[in-house]
Structure formats: structure tokens, C-alpha cells
Amino acid sequence: KALDPFQSEFHQAVHEVVESVTPYLLENPNYVQLKILERLVEPERVIQFRVPWIDDQGMLQVNRGFRVEMNSSLGPYKGGLRFHPTVNLSILKFLAFEQTFKNSLTSLPMGAGKGGSDFDPKNKTDHEVMRFCQSFMTELQRHIGANTDIPAGDIGVGGREIGYLFGQYKRIRNEFAGVLTGKGLEWGGSLIRPEATGYGAVYFAEEMMKSRGESFSGKVVTISGSGNVAQYAAEKVLDLGGRVVTLSDSSGYIYDPAGVDREKLDYVMELKNIQRGRIKEYAEKYGCEYYPGKRPWGVKCDVALPCATENEISQEEAKALLINGCEVVSEGANMPCQPGAVHEFLEARILFAPGKAANAGGVAVSGLEMAQNSMRLNWMRDEVDQRLHTIMKSIHKMCVTYGERPGDWVNYVDGANIAGFVKVAKAMRAQGNV
């Protein structure tokens, strides 16, 4: 904290992991001597760069670009790029730190990284986004590579941006390589990658519910966000017989007690991915309630899936969820629950899945995309989905192994942190003091 006093999100993420792994470290003092924790919190490399680009008015704009190469003990750096005005080093270090444990939990050979820019793709034309992406990649390309560092998407970086970034990488390096994941299907992408994070968060919740003899059938589900993760979490909830009653964006949320059915979800995908509109338009089209400037945690529900952004559930909102009957929370987003909210859920002993376990499905299928790229072939949809499902079940099992507590309860926060830590720590010990 003394070194980086303003990195509050990073400190929050580190604090949670340290709390979980301390008892494990006390039993394994060798890792303390080797200063594994001290090394884990220090990125192997941080790259920061200027991104100049020309807007449609011919004016020069300047943004800040970053890549945090956090940990390469399990494989090449791997993690998404975020384009959002709030991006700074604290946010990216927290995301890269979380990624270390998440990628470890997938059991695939991936190290951890994260990057992005304070560029805001909202209200920009396609041409502006393209020029920005090209300038961003002109610098980033010298630091990444299919065996070095493989970025992907995150908030504000979807199929369109990955396409422009890939095009520029290919042009400068003169190689068609699996250097980014989340690519289009026609040019090296994997089936199920767009669905993977949302589906995975629901698969994980389903596994937790099974342990209590429950399922999604007939459950009322509140979801935040209406982007990539939220859309596919909603789709999988529908597949499993649940009823999704909310979606949101940074302007507010819609409450549709009748449920977001398949047709309405198709409209949301069109609205958000093609028209790039606001969720408010859903309320206008389907005549349901819209709450501007609010988050959807005050409604009656059985399951909550926060799928928008970090720190989007406060302690007070967590209490409201519990009072309203919520018994399952699966974090589709990264660190959406504030520490006070996590505390409430753990105290109440509900089924609470932290993002590093619950949303690992996205990076897992990115790992599968890398495998397909290396083999130069594509797996079928069902095959990738089955592999994703198997990985989510295996992550759930690992969390249970390390998080099982007396009274037939699993602390998934401890479980995910310790299970993720053990594998990375072993690899770091084997690779010496690097």
C-alpha cells in the first residue's frame, strides 16, 4: 500500500486472497520463505504507452494504453483488454492479479495478464474505433505473441475490436497467428467463445445448487449488465428453466416480472451488439419498468448474477438481496461484490461463487481457442461446450476440496483462492527465484 497508495481496487483483490491463503501458508512455511505472495503481487512487467489517433473531425486524440504481464509461471500471459474511461493501473493490476488464480483454476497452461485503455468506444463511429485499435496495436504488437502474451476481450472490447486489433497485428508482423482470442469464426475463432463466460457462470451456479438438491428450474434470476457476459448468462438460465427478470447498463435497469424470454433476449442482443443502444429501449418496447441510475439488487429473486463490473453490489444491496430471498450469487463479472457484500453472503452461508471461479469459463474457452489454433483445426460446438462444462465442474470440485467447512458448507472464496494459489506456488517454487 505504501508503494501504490492509490491502487484501491488492486489492494482489495490482494487483501481477499491474502485472507484466504494465510492459514494455508502457515501450514506450508516453505512458501513463506520463498516469498511466493510477495512475488505474486508484483507484476512481472507493466507496459504503458501513448495511443494517438485521429477522430472523424480530423482532430488528434490521445489515450493511454496498458498491458500488465502479471505472472507466467503456468504459461504465456493471458487475459483480456478493457476499453473504458475508468481504466487505470489499479483496475488492470486487480484484474491481472485475479486472472492469475482464475487461469490456474482452469487447469489449462495459461499465465496471467490484463490490459486496455481509457478510450471509450461509446458514441464513436466504427472508423474511429478502427483507427484507435490500429494505433493501440501498433505499440502493443511488439510485446505480445502466440507464445508470449495472448490478449482477448473484456468490457468495451468485443468481436469488432478484436477484428481490428488482429488485422493490425497481422499487417505489421506479417503472420497469421493465434495472438488474440475471441476471434471471428471464419478467421481462427472458437465456437462457444462468445457464450463461454455467461454459460460458465450459470454452470457453476448449477453445480452449487445441485449440492443442495436444487436446480434453475422455476427460479427467479436477477442479472446486471446487458453486455457479453449478461446476455449469455441469461440465455443459459432460460435453457435451464429459470426466469430472468432484470438486465441493466450503466444508465439503469429494466424489471420485467414476466421474464426476458428468447424473443426478448434476441432483441437485447440486436440492441446492444448491433445498434449499440441503451437498455432503456427494452422497457419502451415491452412496456416494463425502467429504473434510471439504479442497480437491480432490490427485487425479489432466488439467484443473482452480477455480470456488469467491479464493486456493483454494496453491503446494503447484499442485505436487500438476502431479505428478498436470494440464496445463490454467482459472479459473472470480476469482483462485482464489495468486501462488505461478500461478508454478508458468507455470514448468511448462501451459495456464493467468486468471479475467479465462476467466470473462468471465458478464459477457459480462450485456452481451447489457442489449442485449436495450434492444431489448425476447429472443434464442433457441442465438443467445446462439453469441455467448458467439464472444466466448470472441475473448478467447482477444486473449490469444494479447499473450501469445505464444518456444517456441510463450502466457502467458495477460500476454496477458489487456495486452489488457484497452490498450483501457481508449486510452479514458482520449481522455476526458482525468478
Of the two residues 76 and 153, which places its CB atom closer to ligand NDP in the complex?
153
Task: State the binding string over 333-352 for ligand NDP (x if CB under 6 A, else -).
Answer: xx------------------
Identify whether the C-beta of residue 30 lies closer than 8 Å to the C-beta of residue 429: yes
Helices (H), 270-327: 280-286, 315-323
Q: Residue number with the shortest CB distance to ligand NDP?
A: 227
Helices (H), 28-65: 29-33, 36-40
At 327, is the secondary structure helix, strand, or coil? coil
Please, what is the minimum distance in Å from the beta carbon of residue 158 to ligand NDP?
6
Assess 362 for contact with ligand NDP (CB under 6 A). yes
Among 308, 370, 395, 428, binds ligand NDP (CB under 6 A): 308
Span of 3-11, 105-113, 166-174, 327-335 interacting with ligand NDP by CB under 6 A: 327-335
Q: Backbone phi, then psi, for 144, in 5-degree steps? A: -115, 175
Assess 307 for contact with ligand NDP (CB under 6 A). yes
Per the annotation, does 99 bind a ligand? yes
Task: State the binding string over 173-212 for ligand NDP (x if CB under 6 A, else -).
Answer: ------------------------x---------------
Q: Which residues contact 144 (CB under 8 A, 6 or more apart)?
A: 67, 150, 151, 169, 179
At 64, is the secondary structure helix, strand, or coil? strand
Per the annotation, does 183 bind a ligand? no
Please, what is the minimum distance in Å from the beta carbon of residue 250 to ligand NDP?
3
Among 106, 168, 309, 372, binds ligand NDP (CB under 6 A): 309
Please, what is the minimum distance in Å from the beta carbon of residue 122 to ligand NDP?
7
At 183, is the secondary structure helix, strand, or coil? coil
Which helix (H) or strand (E) segment is 291 a member of? strand 289-292
Q: Which residues contact 372 (CB under 8 A, 6 or more apart)?
A: 190, 378, 379
Which helix (H) or strand (E) segment is 351 a member of? strand 351-353
Of the two residues 103 and 138, which places its CB atom closer to ligand NDP in the complex?
103
Task: State the binding string over 363-402 for ligand NDP (x if CB under 6 A, else -).
Answer: ----------------------------------------
Find the binding residues for ligand NDP in span 400-419 (CB under 6 A): none
Strand 149-152 with 220-224, pairing: unpaired
Q: Backbone phi, then psi, for 297, in 5-degree steps? A: -100, 10
Find the binding residues for ligand NDP in span 151-170 (CB under 6 A): 153-156, 158
| Spatial distance between the Cα atoms of 372 and 182, rounded to a whole number of angstroms | 12
Concatenated DSSP letters for 211-269?
A: TTT--STT-EEEEE--SHHHHHHHHHHHHTT-EEEEEEETTEEEE-TT---HHHHHHHH
Please, what is the minimum distance in Å from the beta carbon of residue 357 to ligand NDP?
11
Q: Is there a catalytic annotation at residue 114?
A: yes
Q: Backbone phi, then psi, for 376, in 5-degree steps? A: 55, 50
And the C-alpha cell for 102? 482464475
Identify whether the C-beta of residue 243 lies closer than 8 Å to the C-beta of residue 262: no
| Spatial distance between the Cα atoms of 260 and 105, rounded to a whole number of angstroms | 32
Per the annotation, does 228 bind a ligand? yes
Of the two residues 30 and 251, which places its CB atom closer to ligand NDP in the complex?
251
Of the two residues 37 and 337, which places its CB atom closer to ligand NDP in the complex?
337
Per the annotation, does 100 bind a ligand? no
Chain center to CA of 344: 22
Q: Backbone phi, then psi, for 15, in 5-degree steps? A: -55, -45
Please, what is the minimum distance in Å from the beta carbon of residue 29 to ligand NDP?
34
Of the two residues 167 and 252, which places its CB atom closer to ligand NDP in the complex?
252
Catalytic one of 1, 93, 114, 423: 114
Q: Give the Cβ contact number of residue 217 at 10 Å.
A: 9
Find the binding residues for ligand NDP in span 222-261 (CB under 6 A): 225-230, 249-251
Assess 330 for contact with ligand NDP (CB under 6 A). no
**Binding-site residues for substrate:** 78, 99, 102, 153, 366
**Binding-site residues for NAD(+):** 197, 228
**Binding-site residues:** 78, 99, 102, 153, 197, 228, 366
Binding residues (CB under 6 A) for ligand NDP: these are 153-156, 158, 197, 225-230, 249-251, 307-309, 332-334, 359, 362
Residues involved in catalysis: 114
